Amino acid sequence: MDSYITAIGTAVPQYGFSQLQIASFMAEALQLDEPNRRKLQALYRLTRIDRRHSVLPDYGASPGEYTFFPNTPDLEPFPTVGTRMELYRKEALPLAVAAIQDLYRDGRKTVIPTHLITVSCTGMYAPGLDIDLIEALNLPTTIQRTAINFMGCYGAFNALKTADAFVRADASARVLVVCLELCTIHFQKKTDEDHLLSNALFADGAAAVLIEAQPGREKPTPSFRMRTFFCDLLPDGKNDMGWIINDHGFEMTLTSDVPTVIRQGIGKALSRLLEHSGLAIEDITYYAIHPGGRKILEVIEQQLGIEATENRFAYEVLRKFGNMSSATVLFVLKEIRNHLLTESGAGNILSCAFGPGLTLESMILEIVPTVLPVHDSSAPEAIAIPSNA
């Protein structure tokens, strides 16, 4: 039995800032002198990010006008983990609901999910986001819930694999996956290279996908059949990417060696993915690469022997939104679905993402054209998603 992604929704917070605005905030927060300010601005320009979003207005505010960080020259007392988790709990639900509302505008009628999978590495609480969503959206209390936490940028792949297993085990399963990341609440005022790079890349966002045993029947968007998954681990990069909980937030380790580690392992991993799918690189029509950063995208293009134009959907998401951790690759898939509104046809999508470990997750999706609607008396009852949830 096959499983299909039949709808994708995305959402970002209301506060959006240009990279130069964020660079200005960082320079003030880090109390940089003029030469280091210019270096920071150069770093931000090189990211190929135009704009990022945050649940915090502070990144576009002037000193003295902050609402979350202290209005002191050194931002002391710096927010604790408890303060940041309180903010996460307040902001997570409305952003997740917005992504689900967008999902149901994606050409898919609302249906009652039987399973709910939540993904996040930027905050946790219990009762958690899954239960809050059930209450906010009036979902059945009997819905089966799974939480996937703290896996970083590749978390969406584990959620999709879990959803695939649910659907393959039960054809009546309808799995709602929600990836929610508030990366910007974990800003660290450190001036080492790793933290400067992290602060230049990460943003907030949410994505939702619906996985079912049949392709969608609502025009014009196609469905994606989840064809093959493959995971590999590159232990040599274990210390180059990490995510730990410290006294003043979650701290990201992201060294400049990550692209080198990926270069050493990505070719072999994706070759095995294609082999397991019975495909060759020539059979790939589109690429949905997690835009972890400009250099990572360039390394993957070199290893696959593709042009940047073939990887344009990842660059577009990076440009408009930055790196939103686990939600980001689903934004890329949404870009491809939007493109397919005007470029119909079959084909295959190669997708991959990376995270602590150093972990390489990858999958092949098959593009399935829309199936014409037919009368189905067994179709699940529709539900209404409150617009003001």
Catalytic residues, which ones? 153
Q: Are 121 and 149 in contact (CB under 8 A)?
A: yes
Burial label, 26 (beta-carbon count in 10 A; 0-12, 13-18, 19+): buried
Taken in order 192, 196, 197, 199, the sign of the CA dihedral is positive
Distance CA 195, CA 183 (A): 13
Q: Who contacts 273 (Cβ-Cβ below 8 Å, separation ≥6)?
A: 228, 229, 230, 350, 362, 363, 364
Q: Are 175 and 111 in contact (CB under 8 A)?
A: no
Distance CA 146, CA 223 (A): 23
Q: Which two tokens stand for residue 124?
A: 């946790």
Q: Which two tokens stand for residue 179?
A: 């990836």
Quick check: helix, strand or coil at residue 224?
Answer: strand
Which phi and psi (to 5°) does residue 345 adopt?
140, 170
Distance CA 351, CA 361 (A): 8
Amino acid at 367: I
In 3D space, the residue among 16, 17, 23 whose CA is nearest the CA of residue 43 turns out to be 23
Beta bridge partners of 233: 359
* Count of other CB atoms within 10 angstroms of residue 342: 7
